[in-house]
Structure 1
Amino acid sequence: MAANAPAVTFIALFLPFLAALLAPVLVRTLGAKAAWLLALAPAMAFLQFARFLPEVAAGEVVTGGYVWVPSFNLSFSWFLDGLSLTFALLITGIGALIVVYAGGYLKGHPLQGRFLGFILAFMGAMLGLVISDSFLMLFVFWELTSITSFLLIGFDHEREAARRAALQALVVTGAGGLSLLAGLIFLWNVTGVTQLSLLVHVSDGLRQSPFYFATLLLVLGGAFTKSAQFPFHFWLPNAMEAPTPVSAYLHSATMVKAGVYLLMRLNPVMGDTPAWEILLPFFGGITLISGTILGLRQTDLKLMLAYTTMASLGLLVMLTGFGSTYAVEAAVLYLVAHSLFKGALFMAVGAIDHEAGTRDVTKLGGLRSAMPITFAAALLAALSMGGVPLFFGFLAKEEIYAALAAGNPRAVFFTAIAVVGNALMFALAFAVGLKPFLGRHVETPRHAHEGPVSLWLGPVVLAALGLLAGIFSGVAHFYISSPMASAVVDEKVVIDISTVPHIGMPLLLSLVTILLGLAIFWRMDKARAWVVQFVDALGIGPDRGFDYFVRGLVRMSSAITRFVQPGRLELYLTATFILLALALLLPLILAGEWPTLPPLPDLLLVQEAAFLIIAAIGIIAVLRAKNRLTAIVSLGVQGFAVAVIFLLFGAPDLSFTQFMVETLSVVILALVMTRLQLWSRDHRPLPQKLLDSTIAIACGLGFTLLLLKSLQTPFDTVLSDFFNTYSKTIAHGANVVNVIIVDFRGVDTLGEISVVMITGLAVLALIRVRSRRGAREGKL
């Protein structure tokens, strides 16, 4: 563990949040130039994390945190190994470039400060997610990424499509977050630990647990929704309604990889089981093929990239679950390569849209001379995405085929899926990175020209890194790839693949992929037409199904609300008292805990018996009352009689409280009834009266039996002794009851007072509403 690592990590984690708070103010003050200043926050965080590269490469880990709730083993803790450190560097490094890019892309936008605040807050949430060690911290940041991405996707909130996409992403990923929470609770209960770094020590017990499969399904629910795996993939293409900086950051390099990160983190704990090695490759393979096929259907450059992102995520999930060290190495290489080339391509597409005014590939051409720097960056990124030698993407593709190619049917099947998927992504990569720039010049809505440095800096840096990482692969493997793979498999792994082609099956499959990709690219228009016909023939898909689901959910909720809450207070009170009677009587009946009836006490005729008779007379008066106001006044007789009984038995302060409560109750209820003009006699039919009487008797009987049972249990004097001992010495009060209410139960008493005040305000509001309505109707 590095010296001062906790402080350094803590500062690096909260730098994006601090910048998010300052973003609106700085943009109002400095305009678009504020983006360059705000980008220093993630850049500084990147440098802070980069300091740990030598130690993590040497096999060490960086831990830190603070104890939160020791009794529940909850802490605010983080854990940096090869996996989390690589993600942290991608998040902060690409994040700094995205902030600069957003400053140029949204220059002059009235809400640019808000946008930069949102994206920096998301950056902090994503950073917290990948370095979290405690389950609670992981879940909190996981949900925070969903909330901030909702704000970013729906940033252009005046458009219905943006609002729908934001809501869809929030619903899908939010539901997945609840699934993940349940999975983490299962992990906690099965293993007894609450930190990810400790799970590896109890992995065997988890795999052998009868709850393993349920835990796996719940965890996959969170990971698959976040990383847009089939059939939850539909939210990712729709999220392209967000501004391009969001697409370039959230949906290529960060948020959508949160699910992949979780699966990689849990691979040493939950992997190496039949369920893991069946479910992940199966759904990952489906996502890979469906993403690339649906990408061919698109003409919008961002949507083409969105579907290839979906396909890439499927490939990563498939490799993570394949069950071999080589597959993990391939996943690690591809994840880094994908973050670089996809971020560059998204930003290049944004620059094209910003300067040319369109993203439709059929309406673009000949931009090479107008946007030479953007063209160079897009071409380099496309070459890496296509897996051409010298690029880091080539290393990833070679390792994929080395991991999958084998003689058994399972390996042949998934190898074929990888070849087809990679070939389709090759064609889509050059359709995005090459086609808009070649051919004859096409007139565009805007006069196309190279954008400012803020628009091409990010694509150039990321595309160049994809090339440099491939050329200097030894350095990249030593500091990034090998430590990351070692963390995923929980053992020392050394990746040594280089850009020098090696004769063998992986190279042959790479050549097949390139040739197939070139053929598809050559006949792109026909391939697109075929896919359009195929998809249209399928009819309804998950995206439209989501609309049907939400519409049905709203209708069902409305129907249930109308049934449960019809607007009649009488029904609400009836249901409440029925449940109260059941709660009181059912435990006594089912458990057979009936109290023993006490003998009749000897009553003093002039005192106790007299007031009991007065109470009985009051009950008869309530039942015989001509109107509700008389019934309220008669009801107060019961409270006064009970207050006198308290007084006779030596509780004057309790008696005084009872007198006050009954007096105020009668006065307030009488005033309310008077203002609401409820003077009419009770005209309920006889069956309704019998039902209400039965419920009332059941509630009264339940309270009576419960109190009798409580009084027949041995009296525990611990609290009484405590209050008698400490009321004078601690609270400095001789009246124990007052001390309990004011000091020992001070917060509780404050809550009771607050409830009474709120109730009074509600009554006042009802009276005023009634008064206004009567005035309008000429009744007052």
Structure 2
Amino acid sequence: MSANVTDLTFLALSLPFLGAVLAPFLTRLLGSNAAWVLALFPAASFLHFLGFLPEVAAGEALTGGFAWVPSYNVSFSWLIDGLSLTFALLITGIGLLIVLYSGGYLKGHPQQGRFLCFILLFMGSMLGLVMSDSFLMLFVFWELTSITSFLLIGFDHESEAARRAALQALVVTGGGGLFLLAGLLLIWNVADVTQLSLLLNLDDPLRGSPFYIAMLVLVLGGAFTKSAQFPFHFWLPNAMEAPTPVSAYLHSATMVKAGVYLLMRLNPVMGETPAWETVLPVFGGLTLVIGTLLAIRQTDLKLMLAYTTVASLGLLVMLTGFGSEHAVEAAVLYLVAHSLFKGALFMVAGLIDHESGTRDVTRLGGLRGAMPITFAAALASALSMGGLPPFFGFLAKEEIYYALAHGDLRSILFTLVAVFGNALMFGAAFVVALKPFVGPAVATPKHAHEGPVLLWLGPVVLAVLGLLSALFSTLSHHYISSPMASAVKGSPTVVDMSVVPHIGLPLGLSVLTILAGIAVYLTIDSGRAAMARVLQALGPGPDAGFDGFIAGLVRLSHRLTTIVQSGRLEAYLTLTFIGVAAVLLVTPMLYGEFPKAPSWPSGIHFHEWTFLAIGVIGVLAVIWAKDRLTAIVSLGVQGFAVAMIFLLFGAPDLSFTQFMVETLSVVILTLVMTRLRLSPTDHRGLGQKLIDATIAIACGLGFGLFLMRTTEVPFDDALTLFFNAYSKVIAHGANVVNVIIVDFRGVDTLGEIAVVMVTGLAILALIRIRVGGERRPAENDPDAPEGNRS
């Protein structure tokens, strides 16, 4: 990319975030009309990316960006090819309509500005995800979509159900993000590249690796949780607690398709293996069947659409991993078709709820006269979802059957799964699009009427696009379908499916699907009752399992915290010193790194023996002291003896430091002890004393052995030579030790001073504690008066 194009692309990626910053202010200033202004931000991004269509259609893949962390070869870079460009156009184009729809749906809501801020943040996060070339950039935006979806799903934060759904979505998708991070790091180490464009151009870097299965499991962990594949499908329908604009955007063009995008992106380097072509079709097929069965169980329009989204995502995953020649083309066509008809139907469901006061399909009917525009958009979208000509959904369904329908047992099995799932989705689509509008009028909580333009504009535009993209399929395939399929397959691909059906097995399967779908529509009430009985017989599902998992996790955390955080300083110190002793002694024991037995030193002078003896006597005095004050003073004697030994062996600076530390320690500890009413004697029993003595001896022995082993290593004088050579030249100081402390380690020294200062302030606060003018006795002190004990 040229510099100007790179700058404009970065701006296009940033525009949703800029709009998010301005959203609250513009909403306060303009009210619901702010949606028209805020829609300009995704509109500008859409137009920018639209300009790349000719180059991408010609087979080019464009990259750009800039260095982020050059030392680690990490960049803020993007990749524009058929796959990412299609997603970018869907995200910004449908996002533009969602912003306008939100302005009408939340008109008058006191938190409309906050909502528009969140939806634009969500848009920017998803746009960054699909455009990312850098592994790190991909992960950052991946997690941003989880965070922003958490904010959107929990928008009605006063609702317990909304808070639970938001937490559930964050836990599931955020946990999957950690799997993805591990997978990307593993791919990074195996392929030795940090960018997707470089990975895709390598000659089979992953499939032949012994770590392929590990990479596959980690990547699928991220993709399956994000795209709600079985058994992680439960979070997506619960996300319907979010306002309808979120549902429409989440299900059509954004987060739930992020996992599908990831699988499509990595298909050229991880696909076409037995594991890939087994795991993806099996879990995708299961998700398709489970999603459609649960969809016909629902009476809430949004929930019915949500479960069909789960099913559609399963179908996309199944096609992505199926491995036949045309499966990828089918997945590409269905992804685009699904984005158009599902976004429209969700907005229709929200419009019905907004204008009639209910989404319960059993309480709706006869709205065709009151809401003719909404009915037309709903019917057109349902025709596309049902796979009927002349809509784009028909092209997708024909290509699906053309890709799956072969003579082997595997193909027959997955073809039956596709026919079953598509038939149930056909029935669900027309339940949503017809039941509320046909038949006799039903009294609704609100007097139903056609909504304002902001509410019906989105579904009408998407429904019309579903029609035009099929009628002008040659252009659609040239600019969208073929470049996208080429990117997913990793080789040039031409999609040529049109609204003119090809006589043969695929058309026959389409007719079978339509007939079965009509039967589902006509028997929806009995089918709903049958599914209710089945679910009741099966008992709690994954959703209840999630609650059990979280409850168990909380109980485990509580018990672990009770053990680790007992509230007793003595227990903390004991565990700490046990850990220190274990680190110092167990490691050399396992690896045979104990030092050699030292030889007894010769030539020690009498005065040196004297200070050594004073140090030993000080230690024994501490042990045998009957009260704390005597122990503190004895500890100081031992410290002074060590300081004198430093002085005798030519380390006056270290000796001076030791003198200061010991003096301050004795003074401060004495001051504290005289201010606190503590037990004057050691009240520990013999057993506790033996345990403490063992730990103390183990720590002392461990440090001694560690220092002895360290001195056996040949001395490396590189730092000595460096400081001797540069202390005078760089820091202009003759005293090398002072230069090291003040200049070379200045920040470290400042940190040590800060620690001493904070400690002093804490001690000052402790000794100034008063209760009614008297010193506060220590809690649970056995020698404190009864009235002062806790």
TM interval, short-chain normalised: over 0.9
Deviations 1:461-485 (CA, angstroms, capped at 9, x unpaired): 1111111101111111111000000
Aligned to 1:423: 423
- Give the residue type in structure 2 aligned to 1:376: A
Secondary structure, counterpart of 1:207 in structure 2: coil
CA distance in 2, matches of 1:184, 1:342: 31
Aligned to 1:212: 212
Aligned to 1:602: 603
1:463 paired to 2:480: no
- Give the residue type in structure 2 aligned to 1:288: L
Q: Quick check: 1:27–1:112 contact (8 Å CA) kept in 2?
A: yes
CA distance in 1, matches of 2:381, 2:557: 48
Stretch moving more, 704-713 or 76-85: 704-713
> How far is the alpha carbon of 1:669 from its aligned partner?
2.3
Aligned to 1:342: 342
Q: Quick check: 2:32–2:103 contact (8 Å CA) kept in 1?
A: yes
CA distance in 2, matches of 1:491, 1:423: 33
Q: Quick check: 1:676–1:770 contact (8 Å CA) kept in 2?
A: no
CA distance in 2, matches of 1:5, 1:628: 75
Aligned to 1:175: 175
Q: How does 1:686-701 map to 2 (within 5 A)?
A: 686-701=686-701
Aligned to 2:750: 750
Deviations 1:654-688 (CA, angstroms, capped at 9, x unpaired): 22222222222222223333333224211212122
Q: Quick check: 1:150–1:169 contact (8 Å CA) kept in 2?
A: yes
Aligned to 1:514: 514
Stretch moving more, 679-688 or 742-751: 742-751
> How far is the alpha carbon of 1:644 from its aligned partner?
2.3
Q: Quick check: 1:325–1:489 contact (8 Å CA) kept in 2?
A: no
CA distance in 2, matches of 1:508, 1:226: 34
Secondary structure, counterpart of 1:76 in structure 2: strand
Aligned to 1:670: 670
Deviations 1:475-531 (CA, angstroms, capped at 9, x unpaired): 111110000000000111111111112211111111111111111111111111111
Aligned to 1:284: 284
1:80 paired to 2:80: yes
Secondary structure, counterpart of 1:204 in structure 2: coil
Aligned to 1:705: 705
| 341 and 755 in structure 1: CA distance in 2 versus 1, 3 angstrom threshold | farther
- Give the residue type in structure 2 aligned to 1:589: M
Aligned to 2:228: 228
CA distance in 2, matches of 1:771, 1:647: 46
CA distance in 2, matches of 1:306, 1:742: 65
Task: Count residues with an aligned counterpart.
Answer: 779
CA distance in 2, matches of 1:672, 1:431: 78
Q: How does 1:378-457 map to 2 (within 5 A)?
A: 378-457=378-457
Q: Quick check: 1:287–1:310 contact (8 Å CA) kept in 2?
A: yes
- Give the residue type in structure 2 aligned to 1:86: T
- Give the residue type in structure 1 aligned to 2:280: L
Aligned to 1:680: 680
Q: How does 1:293-312 map to 2 (within 5 A)?
A: 293-312=293-312
Q: Quick check: 1:424–1:520 contact (8 Å CA) kept in 2?
A: yes
Secondary structure, counterpart of 1:77 in structure 2: strand
Deviations 1:333-369 (CA, angstroms, capped at 9, x unpaired): 0000101110111111111111111110111111112
Q: Quick check: 1:203–1:268 contact (8 Å CA) kept in 2?
A: no
Q: How does 1:36-115 map to 2 (within 5 A)?
A: 36-115=36-115
> How far is the alpha carbon of 1:12 from its aligned partner?
0.9
> How far is the alpha carbon of 1:68 from its aligned partner?
2.7
Secondary structure, counterpart of 2:275 in structure 1: helix
Percent sequence identity over aligned pairs: 73
| 754 and 37 in structure 1: CA distance in 2 versus 1, 3 angstrom threshold | farther
Secondary structure, counterpart of 1:42 in structure 2: helix
Q: Quick check: 1:405–1:411 contact (8 Å CA) kept in 2?
A: yes
Q: Which runs of 5+ in 2 are unaligned?
A: 780-785
CA distance in 2, matches of 1:765, 1:397: 75
> How far is the alpha carbon of 1:451 from its aligned partner?
1.6
Aligned to 2:783: none
- Give me the TM-score of the superposition, normalised by structure 2: 0.95
CA distance in 2, matches of 1:395, 1:414: 19
Q: Quick check: 1:629–1:679 contact (8 Å CA) kept in 2?
A: no
> How far is the alpha carbon of 1:163 from its aligned partner?
0.5
Secondary structure, counterpart of 1:206 in structure 2: coil
- Give the residue type in structure 1 aligned to 2:600: P
> How far is the alpha carbon of 1:278 from its aligned partner?
0.7
Aligned to 2:267: 267
- Give the residue type in structure 1 aligned to 2:726: Y
Aligned to 2:724: 724
CA distance in 1, matches of 2:582, 2:602: 30
| 758 and 153 in structure 1: CA distance in 2 versus 1, 3 angstrom threshold | farther
> How far is the alpha carbon of 1:189 from its aligned partner?
2.1
1:534 paired to 2:534: yes
Q: Which runs of 5+ in 1 are unaligned?
A: none
Q: How does 1:627-646 map to 2 (within 5 A)?
A: 627-646=627-646
CA distance in 2, matches of 1:9, 1:601: 77
- Give the residue type in structure 2 aligned to 1:654: L
CA distance in 2, matches of 1:764, 1:13: 54
CA distance in 2, matches of 1:649, 1:624: 30
CA distance in 2, matches of 1:619, 1:99: 75
Secondary structure, counterpart of 1:506 in structure 2: helix
Q: Quick check: 1:5–1:62 contact (8 Å CA) kept in 2?
A: no
Stretch moving more, 647-656 or 540-549: 647-656
- Give the residue type in structure 1 aligned to 2:346: F
- Give the residue type in structure 1 aligned to 2:296: L
Aligned to 1:249: 249
Secondary structure, counterpart of 1:67 in structure 2: strand
1:486 paired to 2:464: no
CA distance in 1, matches of 2:368, 2:293: 28
- Give the residue type in structure 2 aligned to 1:750: L
- Give the residue type in structure 1 aligned to 2:648: L
CA distance in 1, matches of 2:556, 2:587: 34
CA distance in 2, matches of 1:548, 1:266: 34
Q: Quick check: 1:102–1:116 contact (8 Å CA) kept in 2?
A: yes
> How far is the alpha carbon of 1:150 from its aligned partner?
0.7
Q: Quick check: 2:324–2:404 contact (8 Å CA) kept in 1?
A: no
| 301 and 770 in structure 1: CA distance in 2 versus 1, 3 angstrom threshold | farther
CA distance in 1, matches of 2:538, 2:486: 43
| 743 and 30 in structure 1: CA distance in 2 versus 1, 3 angstrom threshold | farther
- Give the residue type in structure 2 aligned to 1:136: L
> How far is the alpha carbon of 1:588 from its aligned partner?
2.7
- Give me the TM-score of the superposition, normalised by structure 1: 0.97
CA distance in 2, matches of 1:371, 1:663: 88
CA-based RMSD: 1.9
Q: Quick check: 2:199–2:205 contact (8 Å CA) kept in 1?
A: no
- Give the residue type in structure 2 aligned to 1:602: G
Secondary structure, counterpart of 1:79 in structure 2: strand
Q: Quick check: 1:5–1:63 contact (8 Å CA) kept in 2?
A: no
| 387 and 759 in structure 1: CA distance in 2 versus 1, 3 angstrom threshold | farther
- Give the residue type in structure 2 aligned to 1:605: F
> How far is the alpha carbon of 1:210 from its aligned partner?
1.9
CA distance in 1, matches of 2:669, 2:13: 57
> How far is the alpha carbon of 1:28 from its aligned partner?
1.7
- Give the residue type in structure 2 aligned to 1:212: Y
Secondary structure, counterpart of 2:593 in structure 1: coil
| 623 and 140 in structure 1: CA distance in 2 versus 1, 3 angstrom threshold | same
Q: Quick check: 1:125–1:144 contact (8 Å CA) kept in 2?
A: yes
Secondary structure, counterpart of 1:730 in structure 2: helix
Secondary structure, counterpart of 1:494 in structure 2: coil
Deviations 1:674-726 (CA, angstroms, capped at 9, x unpaired): 33322421121212212211211111111112112222222211111111222
1:584 paired to 2:555: no
Secondary structure, counterpart of 1:75 in structure 2: strand
- Give the residue type in structure 2 aligned to 1:152: L
| 689 and 203 in structure 1: CA distance in 2 versus 1, 3 angstrom threshold | farther
| 86 and 566 in structure 1: CA distance in 2 versus 1, 3 angstrom threshold | same
CA distance in 1, matches of 2:450, 2:74: 52
